[in-house]
Structure 1
Amino acid sequence: MKKTLTLLSMAILGSAFAQTVALPIGFESNPPAFTPFGNSTYAIMANPDASGINTTSTVLQTVHGNETWAGLFVDLTNKLDFTTDTVIRVMVWAPTTGSFRLKLEDKANSAVYWEADQAVTVDSAWTQLTWNLSGVGTLYDRVVLFPGWGVSNAGTFYVDNIQQGYGSAAPTTANIVFRVDMSLYTGSFTTPEVNGTFNGWCGNCAAMSDANGDNIWEKEITLPIGDTVEYKFSHDNWTGQEMNDPTAPCTNGNTTYTNRVLVITANDTLDAVCWGSCTACSGIGMDEELASVMTIAPNPANDNVNIALNAAAGRFAIMNLAGQVVASGSLVEGKNEVSTATLANGIYMVRVSSEAGEAVEKLAIRH
């Protein structure tokens, strides 16, 4: 009798400490055991591609077996209830595109099941597959995964974040870090700022900072995901503002109010761009390579200046020391004569862009 009670006590104790297996299933800590079949294998390992939609550190790896129906399953403690949350979502990293089958079973009676395939349209990157189970009810407590369905020896797959429903609500805002490189700006300034449709072109309400003194100024702004915003860089409460090229790829194409355009999709730190340019300042300047593409003469100039372009086509912009564009136009290969008759005496910057890159050179006007 004593022995019987002891065994009963051990059974009760073991049941009390048994792992409860339920969705969602991740693999960061204490993941449940899976059962592979069709000569598949599996292991819990470091995420081999922590990028895109899945940056978790640990995932499930499964090497597909030599059967077309190879896969693995996990048994849940309780039956799934699809009364409210009617979808199952699985993150998968597949070596090739193909099909992924999800099957739900009653673990006490495998003849009771539901199954459906989803196309894997992205290879060698994390993607999320979603199955709709509206009206399925509460019959199933086994989740069966068939990566590489219909193919034998389909390769190595990674699986993560098996969940019912859509989980946490998708973020509605994103933090955007705007960055401008002032190293080639020839005017005087104290503090650059970001002005745009998102702050009513307010002046200095979004002042930028340069914490490390590298002349790249930054400002983080929270914006709604899905918005398309227009903006430009200015300095010292509109004392100066950049004058952008309406034909440049980062602008809106408006020749009167030429602003930068950005679609907000997720948190992002934007590339540092030169003041008045869509590209970085690195490589801008009259180094030997770019000097062979563009030459300016005479310099100083009087009423005309010749821009010789050794490229199929390009564009030029002449800017005063405040960064304002005072003349601009297109260039063809060879010699291009540009009128400077209306420009006041002084120092200007000529920016030329072509397939070879961008170059900036000082130009003196003396009438």
Structure 2
Amino acid sequence: MAVSGARPRVPWACDALEVRGRLVPEPEMAPRSPFRRDCDRIIHSTAFRRLKHKTQVFVFNEGDHYRTRLTHTLEVVQVARSIARALGLDEDLAEALALAHDLGHPPFAHAGERALDACMAGQGGFDHNAQSLRVVTRIERRYAQFDGLNLTWETLEGIAKHNGPLTDRDGNGIGRYRDGLPHAISVHSALQDLELWSHASAEAQVASISDDIAYDVHDFDDGLRAGFFTLDDISEIPLIGEAVAEVRGRYPGLGVARTANEVFRRVITRLIEDVVAETDRRAAAAGVASADAVRALGAPLAAFSDEMREKERAVKGFLFPRMYRHERVNRIMADAQQVVRDLYGHFTAQPHDMPQSWTADLDLLDPERLARRVADYIAGMTDRYALDQHARFFDTTPDLR
């Protein structure tokens, strides 16, 4: 199936003319749709700019050509818009959710998240998806009328439910949230019902699966550049191997770098085409006729086919030990986690060492709120700012290489 051109809007797309509104009511501004305004607000946010110096897999000083959180995010946007266009969904909403999905990531990728989560174990933990919601509803302070970005309900819903429903109908946490919801989501839920028991919109589901597609492909590209494996190594993986054989057969003698680019072009196209076809099939089988019907379906709508899901799992099964748990990555991330733990310990003991904008009301904070303030501050740091701050307060700061 070829993915080309835009399909007319389908009945189960979110309608920008019928949004559920913003927490603080605002007049709409033609010609931009509410979802386009959400995109623009996210792009202009401080948290979005900081993504350029936050780790995807490799720390910023390991090389200029590895993905950062920002370049990863832009690749997710490209995939999400392609799928949304092919399905007849709202491209701006899909883009807004792709732009926002990693705003809550702390420095040093998942290593930083694990460190902060351990530090905050007694205060509700730390979850980067929930922190993305906190960033756009509380931490960003750009507007006179409200904290956060005052995004539409549909965008906030998609951020909160990036990985699917969080509760059952009675509000009890499910899955990874069985023992309780993340702090940021609990706080916001007291102000606005995001219907955490349901699936998110089709656009949100597209943004989520686009995240998987983007890093499945670009992490292979970065792993090859780092020398963690070769094209011959990845030729054993079903989805990748098919593309390698195709490119080598068509372009014999092509250099490694260009061969890899041709391989990954084909892989990402096949993943996108599969999601479009499977989502269409599920929508037709379920007879969904509205965005709310998608939410109430009880199962994801945007998904890989069974065959492609197995191939995609094989991709992740290769990347996990060969890249994410590579000795070099483990060593660097162990040091990075210590940096985060050290900073958390220092700022909870000496909170006035944070900038004045973070300390104005410290006397009003109880220990739990202080801990959350410190976590918010650290989570907003770029890799290099975290290292600079560590060097201010500690005699030895690791060289993350």
- With normalisation by structure 2, the TM-score equals 0.22
Higher strand residue share? 1
Higher helix residue share? 2
- With normalisation by structure 1, the TM-score equals 0.23
Which of the pair has more CA radius of gyration? 1
